[in-house]
Amino acid sequence: MATADLLLHPVRMRILQALFETDPLTTTQLRERLPDIAPATMYRHIAVLTENGVLEVVEERRVRGTVERSYRVRKEEAVVGQDARATMTRADHQRAYSTFVASLMGDFDRYLTQPGTDPNADGVVYQQAAVWLTDEEFTAMVNEIRHAVMSRTGGERDGGRRRRVVSLVVVPDEPGSAVAG
């Protein structure tokens, strides 16, 4: 598993989000999806993710004298594990959360700027609810949510399916001992 520093960098997070649950993409295809990232920056961060085993090269082919590589995410490596999270300071968590929220905002902005978007018809959901749970109930709820989402990943792309990004944030109202696992 990777470290928070590796995965929660703003550019690397966007690259990973673009590659999650999609066909392998070339750097050129990634640049089309993320046009605001400079080419040199894109190449540098893809190299970092590949060197650290988070991305893997699934195909190489010659194109006009250069090698074009297609990448995919190694899901098991694209997770900040419990041990890594346990070593993060409050400042690390603040930086990681800020990066995560900025990434969500960027994804939503990119969605809204596309022609033909209709948040109501497209099923856009942003919602917040407060629940009162014991530590055990909380852990069970988080595991249920994870299972509901993860059991639906890896679906085949066909005419009736669209890629949707599901994000989960859980913030306690006050400090406690609950750790979802």
pLDDT in tens, 96-152: 888 888 888 888 888 898 899 999 999 899 888 999 999 999 999 999 998 998 888
> What's the gap between Cα 141 and its chain centre?
21
CATH of the domain at 83: 1.10.10.10
Same domain, 110 and 128: no
From 55, 84, 114, give the residue that closes a domain: 114
Same domain, 15 and 95: yes
pLDDT tens for residues 57-92?
A: 999 988 888 889 999 999 888 888 888 888 888 988
Q: Which domain holds residue 158?
A: 124-181
The helix or strand, by DSSP H or E, that contains position 140, with its residue range, turns out to be helix 135-150
Question: Closest Cα to residue 29, out of 37, 47, 11, 168?
Answer: 37
**CA distance to 44, 67, 72, per residue, from 76 (Å):** 22, 27, 12
Same domain, 106 and 137: no
- What pTM did the predictor assign? 0.71
- Residue 66's DSSP bridge partners are 63
Domain count, the chain: 2
From 64, 83, 114, give the residue that closes a domain: 114
Same domain, 10 and 61: yes
